[in-house]
Structure 1
Amino acid sequence: MRKRLGIVCLIIAALISGCSSAPQDQPQETGTETATDRTDVEEAASNAEGKSAEATFKDVTGTEISVDLPVEKVACLTEICVDALVELGLKPAAVTAGGLAPEPEFYGEEAASLGQIGGSFFEPNLEDISLAGPDLVIGLEGTHEGLREGLAGIAPLYIVQPRSMQESIEFLQHMGQLTGRIAEAEAAEKRLLDKFNFYKEHSPKDKTALVMYGSDVNFGIDTAGSLVGSMLAEVTQYPWPAPEADGGHQAGGMAYSLEKVLENDPDYIFVETFTFSPDAQPLSEQFKTNPLWSRLRAVKNGQVHEMRTPYGPAAEERGRSASY
């Protein structure tokens, strides 16, 4: 949620900066928690006999999962998990190598102390997961379901795929309940909504925007049916309708062409380049050889913005979750 919100906030900030009425003061984030009584969570963690309570729920695939409360050690196969845990003030038991954990807004240098899961994003190393001794493993829909059997003797696999801001908040709330961090989840939700509502209030409504992504000129876009696109559609004009759901498994991304982009000719274009090496050429640079690129209003007006994106497994996940 932090990473997705960060991208949206940067985009909206760019939109606001293009207006003469741009506000000077922005909401300040604080670490103050919402006053919440944790008694219910603490009591749920142990019953009258002093044994751990058990929570049973279904994940996005409909699979029933049971865990002992509170969940203390979580292995993250998806950055959505890392995102939620940092908001709750928790550290993952293990993360995929090359992910977001070392980013300054996540764990920074402390990420070096986290367990590392080798292999690829699509096929993480089960032995590394086992060595971390997790109580719960979080994976991404459309990618990690096949690991459930292999993880059976290690820990339950909780498959997720938030497709909207509300679903992201609900996942954060659920993780707060499972880990006994309800107050932290509520505080994080408040920070998110305060910042989003501020930008929603001050964003110009007469500008069109587009978020595009890819590693080469065969690119995709975040439609209004994606997490990022749906948030932007609330604050400005975002004329990129959601594609028809593919069997209920469409996260709102779709392959696109410059010809189609030119039809709406957005005022602002925000680019996420998925790279697998730090010296890869930005997507916006690759497009310069296409004459259609130079015809776009955003290009003519210098309003094409490359967003900071990771490379390696985190880029693989962003591409997978955007197009799945």
Structure 2
Amino acid sequence: MFTRTPARRGRIGALLLTAALTAGLTACGGPDGSAATTDSAAAAGEKSAGFPRTIEHHKGSTEIKAKPQRIVALDNSLVEAVVALDGKLVGGIGAYRDQKEFPPYLGDAVKDTKDVGPLESPNLEAVAALKPDLIVSATVRHDDLYEQLGEIAPTVFVETTGPLWKDNITLLGKALGEEAKAEEKLAAYETRAKKIGDAINAKEGDPTVSMVRFLDGPTRIYLRKTFSGIILEDMGLARPKNQQDPELFNLEISEEQIAQADADVIFYSSYSGGEERKEKFFANPLWKRLTAVKNGAVHEVKDEIWMTSVSLQGADLVLDDMADIFEVDPAK
């Protein structure tokens, strides 16, 4: 019978330990460094992307330890911003206002994204079940939920959406570690907007433009601080004198105040019961006196694009519409 001496047992133990360590190294990359190098590269990638990082936002500051891989966005504008920056969106608000699901122009980017709506009262249990590593929303939407959301995952809040939609993309770029992509995409949009606007101004002789929205309530003229207003401004299109205030969001008008919408070109949309109000306006003799109406320069546009998308994707679709309406180069 073979009997192990203590010394021999010690040597065997050392050999077994060496073998176990070698196997472990091989599984993680071993001497050739394959997987080990991958782990090191991942760690280096996180460090080079500036993570962990602290994001200053409307509700304070939030530390994000690593580049987010499971993002939940609780506003439709922020859903589209995350998609524009190629973020990994696991949950978001899909059904928004008259929409029943995520907008079709987002395509496969949201095919596996869980709808955690409705916007007014997102399902926090559904959010938590997705195990997000970043939640984004807006104070104007969910101010009272900020603390609860912060207990689920690191949470970043923008103040609002419409007037700040471009600033929000920049902020999300920081939170996602995609600052360069955010800057590049915003610059591409602004360049395209200016090209189309310059072409329209050259062709039409610097026309003034109005944006009217018919609602089940006061009819509104949307001004320079709105989503569509910012796009028109980025295009370099002029507004009538009564629509120049850079701080006002909209003008609410009655049928007797139709003249405030007067411009060389009028765009209009309808939302939630606004069709009936629109017909009343159109039947009013004051409407028929407007410059754009007399010249056949009134154009209906999609409310879900011009009003509620509030995104880079929506802005590009607005630019598509403008190029088509005025028959100029779409600058794509």
Q: Same fold (TM over 0.5)?
A: yes
* Residue matched to 1:188: 185
CA distance in 1, matches of 2:265, 2:276: 17
Cα offset, 1:43, TM superposition = 4.5
CA distance in 2, matches of 1:145, 1:267: 41
Letter in 2 for 1:309: D
Q: Which one of the candidate residues 273, 283, 299 is aligned to 1:305? A: 299
CA distance in 2, matches of 1:256, 1:140: 29
* Residue matched to 2:126: 128
The number of equivalent residue pairs is 258
* Residue matched to 1:114: 113
Aligned: 1:208 with 2:202: no
Which ranges of structure 2 fall in alignment gaps of 5 or more residues? 1-41, 312-332
1:45 to 1:305, Cα distance in 2 relative to 1, 3 A:
same
Please say which of residues 235-244 and 70-79 is displaced more in the overlay.
235-244
Identity %: 24
Letter in 1 for 2:286: L
* Residue matched to 1:19: none
Which ranges of structure 1 fall in alignment gaps of 5 or more residues? 1-40, 245-249, 319-324
Q: Which one of the candidate residues 153, 156, 160 is aligned to 1:155? A: 153
Secondary structure of the corresponding residue to residue 194 of structure 2: helix
* Residue matched to 1:295: 289
Secondary structure of the corresponding residue to residue 152 of structure 1: helix
1:256 to 1:75, Cα distance in 2 relative to 1, 3 A:
farther
Letter in 2 for 1:82: V
Q: How does 1:145-294 map to 2 (within 5 A)?
A: 145-160=143-158, 161-162=160-161, 167-204=164-201, 206-216=206-216, 218-233=218-233, 235-239=236-240, 240-242=243-245, 252-263=249-260, 265-275=262-272, 281=275, 284-285=278-279, 287-294=281-288
CA distance in 1, matches of 2:94, 2:113: 10
Task: Pick the structure with greater CA Rg.
Answer: 2
Kindly indicate whether the alpha-carbon contact (under 8 Å) linking 2:209 and 2:263 is maintained by their aligned counterparts in 1: yes
Letter in 1 for 2:71: V
Please say which of residues 153-162 and 63-72 is displaced more in the overlay.
153-162
1:223 to 1:310, Cα distance in 2 relative to 1, 3 A:
closer
Secondary structure of the corresponding residue to residue 190 of structure 2: helix
Aligned: 1:141 with 2:139: yes
Letter in 2 for 1:306: E
Letter in 1 for 2:116: I
Kindly indicate whether the alpha-carbon contact (under 8 Å) linking 2:161 and 2:310 is maintained by their aligned counterparts in 1: no
**Pairwise CA RMSD of aligned residues?**
3.4
* Residue matched to 1:38: none
TM-score, with length taken from structure 1:
0.67
Please say which of residues 138-147 and 286-295 is displaced more in the overlay.
286-295
CA distance in 1, matches of 2:225, 2:109: 35
CA distance in 1, matches of 2:189, 2:283: 39
CA distance in 2, matches of 1:304, 1:217: 22
Cα offset, 1:270, TM superposition = 1.4
CA distance in 2, matches of 1:296, 1:181: 46
CA distance in 2, matches of 1:42, 1:192: 33
Kindly indicate whether the alpha-carbon contact (under 8 Å) linking 2:57 and 2:156 is maintained by their aligned counterparts in 1: yes
CA distance in 2, matches of 1:202, 1:287: 31
* Residue matched to 1:45: 46
Cα offset, 1:159, TM superposition = 2.0
Secondary structure of the corresponding residue to residue 151 of structure 1: helix
CA distance in 2, matches of 1:303, 1:218: 23
Q: Which has the higher contact order (CA 8 A, sep 6+)?
A: 1
Kindly indicate whether the alpha-carbon contact (under 8 Å) linking 2:215 and 2:270 is maintained by their aligned counterparts in 1: yes
Cα offset, 1:147, TM superposition = 0.9
Cα offset, 1:155, TM superposition = 2.0
Q: Which one of the candidate residues 42, 49, 54 is aligned to 1:56? A: 54
Secondary structure of the corresponding residue to residue 178 of structure 1: helix
CA distance in 1, matches of 2:282, 2:220: 17
Kindly indicate whether the alpha-carbon contact (under 8 Å) linking 1:75 and 1:95 is maintained by their aligned counterparts in 2: yes
1:105 to 1:60, Cα distance in 2 relative to 1, 3 A:
same
Q: 1:129-153 deviations in whole A, cap 9, x for unaligned?
A: 2222222222223221111122132
Letter in 2 for 1:148: Y
Secondary structure of the corresponding residue to residue 53 of structure 2: strand
Cα offset, 1:83, TM superposition = 2.2
Q: How does 1:26-45 map to 2 (within 5 A)?
A: 43=44, 45=46
1:315 to 1:233, Cα distance in 2 relative to 1, 3 A:
closer
* Residue matched to 2:36: none
* Residue matched to 1:66: 63
Cα offset, 1:238, TM superposition = 0.7
Letter in 1 for 2:115: Q
